[in-house]
Copies of this chain bind each other. A is one copy, B any other.
Amino acid sequence: MTIDLNSDLGEGFGPWSMGDDAAMLDVVTSANIACGGHASDPETMYLTLKRAAERGVVVGAHPGYADREGFGRRVIPMTPAEVGRMVAAQIGALAGVAALAGAEVRYVKPHGALGNLAADDRAVADAIVAAVVAQPGSLAVLAISGTELEHAARAAGVAVFSEIYADRAYLPNGRLVPRSQSGAVLHNVEEAATRLIRYFESRQMPVIGGAPIALAGHSVCVHGDTAGAVGMARVLRARLDAAGVPVAPFLGL
């Protein structure tokens, strides 16, 4: 068994950049690329897709609310059907640029507030999955295990892969401890790496307030937009390599 490392990339806009995409693309095996909704534009998409293709990094679409000012972190009131059309347009835009860049969109992972809503709201999750299913190329979905998005994808017969977090604490029900609670985020990268390697050996995730739980995990999310993100990702990858955990994309190229 292998483990994938994914990161949200291509989240600049026009003259503005976000994180060090080039460095992160040397570490991860899958890239969730912004589609011009919460971030990005055709040039940023093209450059990110090109770099991913050159490095053999698998590409996914990372659609979000079309709200650059809020970076897709605010819920914009929309019906599920409207969400579906927005997501379809964003996946399509990335796929259109990917065709020029010699890359191929293989999966979809919703961003920020849209991702959070799709985890809890089945109608929104269904609308996103319907937009995914309609696209050519049998796209997969990358989702947190146990979410409505995962259920919606499975119900639609869409391949779905499970995302875990190395630096986030878990609850006994398999959901993340909210960031507002203390202990939600593991700031020590060595500790996070150790926990990840143990998870890989046991497929059991430690939780707060209970015994470790069985948790599916195909891909580890390493954040792209925070200071020190690349450094943390490098340590994680080095520790996985040293422990003999094979790091590879969850989807073959």
Which residues of A come within 8 Å of B, CB atoms?
12-18, 36, 39, 41-43, 45-46, 66-71, 74-78, 82, 84-86, 88-97, 99-100, 130-131, 134-136, 225
Contact = CB atoms under 8 A, between A and B. Distances in A.
B99 A88 contact: yes
Given A13-B16, A13-B69, A42 B85 contact: yes
Q: Taking the full assembly, how many copies of this chain does it contain?
A: 4
A36 B89 contact: yes
Given A77-B74, A95-B96, A89 B131 contact: no
A158 to B, nearest CB: 14
A43 B68 CA distance: 13
B136 A99 contact: yes
Contact of A99 (B15, B99, B134): B134
A180 B184 CA distance: 42
B89 A45 contact: yes
Given A82-B43, A135-B99, A14 B92 contact: no
A225 B71 CA distance: 21
A91 B85 contact: no
Contacts of A135: 96, 99
Given A42-B88, A91-B96, 12 more contacts: A15-B71, A15-B225, A66-B69, A67-B76, A74-B78, A88-B97, A89-B96, A89-B97, A92-B95, A92-B99, A93-B96, A96-B96
Contacts of A43: 82, 85
Given A77-B74, A93-B90, A84 B67 contact: no
A18 B47 CA distance: 20
7 contacts: A15-B39, A66-B69, A74-B78, A85-B100, A88-B99, A92-B96, A96-B135
